Amino acid sequence: MRDGKKERATEPLRHVFGPVGSGRLGVSLGLDLLGARICSFDCLYCEAGVTEALTTARKPYVPARRLLDELAAWKAAGHAPPDVVTLGGLGEPCLNSELGAVIAGAKELFPDLPVAVLTNSSLMADPDVRLELAQADIVLPSMDTLVPAEYHRLNRPHAAVGLTAIRQGLLDFRAAYDGKIFLEVLLLAGINDSVENSELLQGFCRELAPDRVDVVTLSRPGAHPGCQAASAEALARFRAALGGFAQDAAAPRRAEGHGPAALAGPQLEALAGRIAASVARRPQTEAGLAAGLDVPAAHVRLALAALVRAKAVRERREGDAVFYSGLAG
């Protein structure tokens, strides 16, 4: 009879990322709560790629038990502890209906570490989500624009997600939450770098009183061609408008949607190079690549998304499986 525990311990970790350096959080061990590009937004700038499932439905997309087993396996492997455990993923982590159990379980496993959650804020109007999130030590919500037309053009939300509800949900959360709020504003040139937006965000920050604000822009091309990084002038203007809340330090970029442990540029490029070389030899699936290269599937997914966007590999569906091959394949 096979030893189930031993078998689990040797399985690759599909949902634990890193740890990697995060400008906002230090050395961050990430957890992907979605396992796929499942999001309530389909942002123009999303470097995770186009949202595959645009939804507001909360479900155990990856069950808490599975996530916590992986975290426990990572801990048992004797790695040096990170500075923080960060919950995110290739989409919106609050869509995972077992978010509360994941936060509680992560805190139990790492009682000395803060637990952080990245979110696009879209579910903040839901009191259950606010209650679950309140267990975290740090919440990093996004709010790119308070101008409705810009919001629709930039974040391309599910029809059920209204901007006014997000704004109020964040304020309600702040009122009941003792932990830290690190707000992120991502600017794109000609889309949400308007004076109107900076004025609205300024008033909002005054009400929200976040612990810090990071004004950032694209570091690499986003999911949709044509979106351009904001200028240094626009970044400086927004940082000045958001006053004492904004950070002057080089701000981190959202590199894979809300994935907490995004691969840094050179690491991602290196992995993409290995994948391109491997699929040039024979077509492979994401899972096959993760096993063959011995890297987390989420990292492979990110690198594949970049390669597909760059038209450097071919993507072909066969039944339920998606295969990647070289351009000559």
Binding site for ligand SF4 (CB under 6 A): 39, 41-43, 46, 48, 51, 91-92, 120, 254, 257-258
Residue nearest to ligand SF4 (CB): 257
By beta-carbon proximity to ligand SF4, the closer residue of 68 and 95 is 95
* Least distance (Å) between residue 298 CB and ligand SF4: 12
HSE of 54 in the Cβ direction (CA atoms, 13 Å)? 13
By beta-carbon proximity to ligand SF4, the closer residue of 38 and 276 is 38
The DSSP result for 105-167, as a single string, is HHHHH-TTS-EEEEE-STTTT-HHHHHHHTTSSEEEEB---S-HHHHHHHH---TT--HHHHH
* Least distance (Å) between residue 143 CB and ligand SF4: 11
* Least distance (Å) between residue 208 CB and ligand SF4: 19
* Least distance (Å) between residue 10 CB and ligand SF4: 31
By beta-carbon proximity to ligand SF4, the closer residue of 218 and 289 is 218
By beta-carbon proximity to ligand SF4, the closer residue of 119 and 198 is 119
* Least distance (Å) between residue 153 CB and ligand SF4: 13
* Least distance (Å) between residue 255 CB and ligand SF4: 10
Burial 129-158 (b: 16+ CB within 10 A, else e): bbebbebbbbbbbbbbbbbeebbeebbbbb
By beta-carbon proximity to ligand SF4, the closer residue of 8 and 152 is 152
* Least distance (Å) between residue 219 CB and ligand SF4: 13
Helix %, strand %, coil % of the chain (to 5): 40, 20, 40
d(CA 165, CA 133): 17
* Least distance (Å) between residue 45 CB and ligand SF4: 6
By beta-carbon proximity to ligand SF4, the closer residue of 51 and 192 is 51
3 state DSSP class of 316: strand
By beta-carbon proximity to ligand SF4, the closer residue of 14 and 258 is 258
3 state DSSP class of 288: helix
Residue 39, C-beta contacts closer than 8 angstroms, at least 6 positions apart: 46, 51, 53, 54, 55, 90, 91, 92, 95, 120, 257
- Omega prior to 221 cis, within 30 of 0: no
By beta-carbon proximity to ligand SF4, the closer residue of 279 and 303 is 303
Strands (E), the chain: 16-22, 26-32, 38-39, 53-54, 84-88, 115-119, 138-141, 180-187, 212-217, 314-318, 321-325
